[in-house]
């Protein structure tokens, strides 16, 4: 199974502590080009800037490229530590199947893309005054190239780090499934606390981010791999970057439309959590015939009795 297979590789908990430190170092290293560009543009006054001000200090496509470059570098650091420190192949970090199932990735990608397109078009025709046409051909084409290449790297880093590396590492340490599900989901959502959306909409939006972490974590445990989570996350961020931007979002891009409304969020934030997210899980469960939910989400992680590879703990 997705977590159990890690017992075949070097899985001492101290290795995961070192791994997290190395990944955080990768994030810091990846931010250096962005910091250099900001200092070159604004000088050391950036030290007192809010994140929203930094976003407007550079051309939006340039800023987006440098911001996403951070995650690309972090992904390289993560894959290096998995290969060298844990001696674990990429396939077992991705799935428990005999090979990575890219059809699952594309199914989730298509499902989320269709939902975003329908909901965005519906909202546009329902509330046309909330949108202005933001499309400019050359900036959009540049955005398209950057987004198609680097957004999947950003989302892949987050999925490989939270739903794979940490899910497996915590799982083999505590020997169950529910603890890594809770920890990775809460930490994933909590790191979004510094997003501009939280400043604009209030702390209640954190329910959405944490619930998204649980959604992706449940997909991973029920499907025994992160292929669906990879596709879901990539489609969500890519379509968001290309279709609609706003002055208060983490992705301020040369998208097709700009949302000029003054948004507010209340308990209606529970609608996606209680209706839309369960609908996604229901569709995936029916397609891939998920069963034994209790065991897969709350069961024990058992150490195999016989291993093909010697272990060192």
The whole-number average pLDDT for the span 290-306 is 89
Q: pTM for this structure?
A: 0.93
Condensed to tens digits (0 to 9), the pLDDT of residues 74-123 reads 999 999 999 999 999 999 999 999 999 999 999 999 999 999 999 999 99
Task: Give the pLDDT of residue 52.
Answer: 63
Banded pLDDT at 48 (limits 50, 70, 90)? low
32-41, 47-56, 253-262: range with lowest mean pLDDT: 47-56
Angle, helices 167-174 vs 178-190, to 10°: value is: 140
Closest to 232 measured CA to CA, from 213, 259, 255, 257: 213
pLDDT mean across residues, the chain: 92
Banded pLDDT at 40 (limits 50, 70, 90)? confident
Closest to 40 measured CA to CA, from 66, 71, 68, 61: 66
Condensed to tens digits (0 to 9), the pLDDT of residues 130-179 reads 999 999 999 999 999 999 999 999 999 999 999 999 999 999 999 999 99
φ and ψ at residue 132, rounded to 5 degrees: -130, 150
Whether pLDDT at 46 is above 80: no
């Amino acid at each position: 199974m997705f977590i159990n297979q890690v017992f075949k590789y070097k899985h001492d908990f101290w290795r995961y502590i070192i791994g997290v430190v190395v990944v955080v170092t990768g994030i810091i290293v990846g931010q250096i080009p962005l910091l250099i560009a900001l200092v070159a543009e604004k000088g050391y006054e950036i030290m007192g800037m809010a994140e929203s001000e930094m976003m407007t200090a550079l051309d939006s496509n340039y800023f987006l490229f440098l911001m996403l470059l951070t995650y690309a570098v972090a992904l390289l650091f993560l894959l290096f530590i998995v290969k060298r420190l844990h001696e674990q192949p990429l396939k077992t970090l991705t799935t428990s199947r005999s090979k990575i199932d890219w059809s699952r990735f594309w199914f989730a990608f298509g499902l989320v893309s269709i939902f975003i397109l329908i909901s965005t078009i519906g909202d546009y025709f329902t509330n046309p005054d909330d949108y202005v046409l933001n499309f400019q051909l050359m900036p959009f084409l540049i955005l398209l190239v950057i987004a198609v290449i680097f957004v999947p790297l950003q989302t892949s880093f987050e999925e490989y780090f939270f739903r794979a590396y940490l899910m497996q590492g915590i799982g083999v340490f505590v020997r169950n499934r529910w603890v890594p599900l809770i920890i990775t989901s809460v930490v994933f959502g909590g790191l979004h606390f510094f997003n501009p959306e939280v400043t604009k909409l209030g702390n209640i939006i954190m329910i959405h981010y944490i619930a998204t972490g649980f959604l992706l974590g449940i997909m991973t445990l029920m499907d025994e791999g992160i292929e669906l989570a990879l596709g879901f996350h990539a489609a969500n961020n890519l379509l968001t970057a290309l279709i609609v931007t706003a002055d208060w979002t983490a992705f301020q891009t040369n998208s097709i439309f700009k949302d000029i409304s003054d948004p507010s969020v209340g308990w209606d934030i529970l609608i996606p959590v209680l209706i839309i997210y369960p609908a996604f899980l229901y569709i995936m469960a029916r397609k891939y015939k998920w069963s034994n939910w209790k065991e897969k989400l709350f069961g024990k992680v058992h150490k195999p009795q016989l291993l093909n590879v010697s272990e060192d703990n």
